[in-house]
Amino acid sequence: MKILVFGAAGAIGQEITAELLRRGHSVVAVTRTGAPVEGQDVQVIQGDAADSASVATVAQGVDAVVSAVGPRRGSEDDEESLVGAARGLVDGLRMAGTRRLIVVGGAGSLEVAPGLRLVDTPDFHAAWKPTALAHARALDEVYRAADDLDWTYVSPAALIEPGERTGSYRTGGDQLLTDEAGNSRITIGDYAIAIADVVESGDAVRRRISVAH
């Protein structure tokens, strides 16, 4: 498959790019600068997820697009940054005629109890809240309204961090996945495997899934 990865220079984007290359896919990395991605032997092009015309140009003729876009560096408004990128991606893919989109999402909007999101719990880190709310808004306002695209929104566990690439993970829906001890974790490597599996399977169209150990 020919796959476009937005946000390929970030920690999660780099791991997803490496996983897709490892599986033999033709991968093009998209970054805002177009500079080479350190440690990656991959074609890099310049593009901006928030600019629908830019997205339409680079997404021509690809089989799938993966968005690992995070808040824009230096931006004071995480919601505007992430929601703007979501709108740019959706509108740009419509213009390009590319339907398949897999989104690296957030965990904050996952439910920990009926009607209670993780981001709304008392112990949720205050520093993480703006990004979590931005991810939630992008999902609810942009992706869930895009019923003409084959999108999948993939939320990680509450904690996603560097660590062993085991190849093992569990999949859920809109509820936070935890282990028997109540912990919710996944390594970046195993999250990248989950993303690549979704790309290849074509499953979970127009819905959010969650992944965790």
Question: Bigger pLDDT: 104 or 81?
Answer: 104
The pTM of this model reads 0.95
Interhelix angle 188-201/11-22, nearest 10 degrees = 50
- Check residue 35 and give its pLDDT: 87
User: What burial class does residue 154 get, using C-beta atoms within 10 Å of its C-beta: 0-12 exposed, 13-18 middle, 19+ buried?
Assistant: buried
- Check residue 80 and give its pLDDT: 80
| 188-206 mean pLDDT | 98
**Of the listed ranges 61-70, 77-86, 121-130, 192-201, the one predicted with least confidence:** 77-86
The model's confidence at residue 132, banded by pLDDT at 50, 70 and 90, is very high
- Check residue 74 and give its pLDDT: 54
Instruction: Flag whether pLDDT at 128 surpasses 60.
Output: yes
| 49-70 mean pLDDT | 97
- Check residue 40 and give its pLDDT: 85
Q: Scanning the structure block, which residue is given the tokens 């901006």?
A: 48
Q: State how beta strands 64-67 and 116-117 pair.
A: unpaired
| 100-107 mean pLDDT | 98
Question: What confidence tens digit (pLDDT) does each residue in 37-57 have?
Answer: 888 889 999 999 999 999 999
Contacts of 115 (CB under 8 A, 6+ apart): none
Interhelix angle 78-96/129-137, nearest 10 degrees = 30
Instruction: Flag whether pLDDT at 72 surpasses 60.
Output: yes
Q: State the average pLDDT for the chain.
A: 95
**Of the listed ranges 79-83, 88-92, 124-128, the one predicted with least confidence:** 79-83
Instruction: Flag whether pLDDT at 159 surpasses 90.
Output: yes
User: What burial class does residue 120 get, using C-beta atoms within 10 Å of its C-beta: 0-12 exposed, 13-18 middle, 19+ buried?
Assistant: middle
